[in-house]
């Protein structure tokens, strides 16, 4: 059975509707049951020293620009295979790299009390320099990985040639989604209580995967610049998908309405953007509809070469 990992414990899907809130920030990181990424096409996996710590990175294929995958929060992407189908196809055209952030998979952990998106960006930049992966880069960010992609492109604009955002998180999630939850009442559905408790837990950095301070991270990304006219493709989950089918419909609809608005706002980060919506796929588009992600990445690669 697929399991979700949050707050350092495993939760079975059938036991709690809140697990489908992975969409919120990818705070509940799903580990799909598929082959390890290291078994895919011509992998070169190594440990890269980024200054007293090592991060595991896997590289596939050859060519430029290099595609850099930034996975969702808490996801050990090198090991769990969620990007395998995407990697196999993209590697036929150009180089694609995936890595595990600090404390995930076999990468060394950090001792910070909490981390922010800026810490992730610094680690990624040092990783690419020390691994001798030269720019330009196509940055692909899934869920809260979109935070890192946006901040990286703002800090190092000369290194980034294009961006693909896969059901990316949005800074306002940390405040506007929790504000939708009604006051506690004895008659409320269990799903509402679980969601309220979930948001409270996620407000504490020590309760989030990777100890990320979401409030500070959101502020960092909110202050980041846009992408100018660099090619950008925004991929969003299907309109028919719901993060939690047990939620009251009015609450679920309000959450999805905000999500749709945020996805449209992401498109405005570039004057050269395209918005793609999955037909059936949920939050993990890369596993449920990998072809949509593959086509988006290759389209941005082609656009940068022109």
- What percent of the chain lies above the pLDDT cut of 90? 73
Query: What CATH number does residue 197 fall under?
Result: 3.40.50.1820
Q: Average pLDDT of 37-62?
A: 81
Confidence of residue 24 (pLDDT cuts 50, 70, 90): very low
- What percent of the chain lies above the pLDDT cut of 70? 86
Q: Average pLDDT of 257-285?
A: 96
pLDDT of amino acid 19? 34
Given a cut of 80, whether residue 5 has pLDDT beyond it is: no
Given a cut of 50, whether residue 139 has pLDDT beyond it is: yes
pLDDT of amino acid 274? 98
Q: 171-223, pLDDT tens digit by residue?
A: 999 999 999 999 999 999 999 999 999 898 888 888 877 889 999 999 999 99
Q: Got the DSSP string for the chain? A: --EEEETTEEEEGGG-GGGGGHHHHS-SEE--SS--GGGSTTEEEEEEESSS-EEEEEEES--SSEEEEEPPTT--HHHH-TTHHHHHHHTTTS-EEEE--TTSTTSPP---S-B-HHHHHHHHHHHHHHTT-PSPEEEEEETTHHHHHHHHHHH-GGGEEEEEEES---TTHHHHHHHTSPPP-TT--HHHHHHHHHHHHHTSGGGSGGGB-HHHHHHHHHTS---BTS-EEEEE--TT--S-TTS-HHHHHHHHHHHHHHHHHHHTTBSSEEEEE-SS--S-HHHHSHHHHHHHHHHHHHHHH-
Q: Give residue 270's domain range.
A: 3-305
Confidence of residue 167 (pLDDT cuts 50, 70, 90): very high
pLDDT of amino acid 209? 78
Q: Average pLDDT of 83-90?
A: 97
Total domains in the chain come to 1
pLDDT of amino acid 205? 87
Q: Comparing 73 with 87, which gets the higher pLDDT?
A: 87
Given a cut of 90, whether residue 126 has pLDDT beyond it is: yes
Given a cut of 80, whether residue 122 has pLDDT beyond it is: yes
pLDDT of amino acid 245? 85
Mean pLDDT of the chain: 86
Q: 52-66, pLDDT tens digit by residue?
A: 999 999 999 999 999
């Amino acid at each position: 059975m697929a399991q979700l990992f949050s707050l350092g414990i495993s939760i079975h899907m059938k036991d709690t509707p809140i697990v489908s809130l992975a969409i919120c920030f990818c705070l509940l990181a799903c580990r799909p049951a598929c082959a390890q990424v290291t078994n895919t096409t011509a992998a070169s996996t190594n440990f890269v020293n980024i200054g007293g710590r090592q991060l595991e990175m896997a590289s596939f294929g050859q060519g430029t620009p290099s595609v850099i995958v930034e996975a969702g929060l808490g996801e050990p992407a090198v090991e769990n295979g969620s990007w395998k189908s995407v990697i196999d196809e993209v590697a036929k055209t150009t180089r694609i790299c995936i890595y595990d952030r600090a404390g995930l998979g076999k990468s060394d952990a950090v001792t910070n009390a909490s981390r922010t998106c800026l810490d992730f960006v610094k680690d990624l930049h040092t990783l690419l320099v020390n691994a001798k992966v030269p720019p330009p880069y196509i940055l692909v960010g899934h869920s809260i990985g979109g935070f890192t992609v946006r901040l990286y492109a703002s800090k190092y604009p000369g290194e980034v040639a294009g961006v693909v955002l896969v059901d990316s998180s949005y800074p306002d999630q940390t405040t506007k989604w929790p504000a939708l939850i009604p006051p506690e009442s004895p008659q409320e559905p269990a799903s509402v209580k679980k969601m309220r408790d979930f948001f409270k837990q996620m407000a504490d950095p020590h309760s989030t995967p990777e100890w990320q301070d979401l409030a500070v991270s959101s502020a960092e990304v909110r202050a980041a610049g846009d992408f100018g006219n660099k090619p950008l493709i925004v991929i969003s989950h299907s309109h028919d998908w719901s993060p939690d089918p047990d939620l009251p419909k009015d609450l679920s609809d309000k959450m999805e309405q905000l999500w749709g608005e945020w996805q449209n706002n992401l498109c405005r980060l570039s004057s050269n953007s395209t918005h793609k919506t999955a037909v059936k796929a949920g939050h993990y588009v890369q596993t449920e509809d990998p072809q949509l992600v593959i086509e988006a990445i290759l389209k941005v690669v082609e656009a940068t070469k022109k």
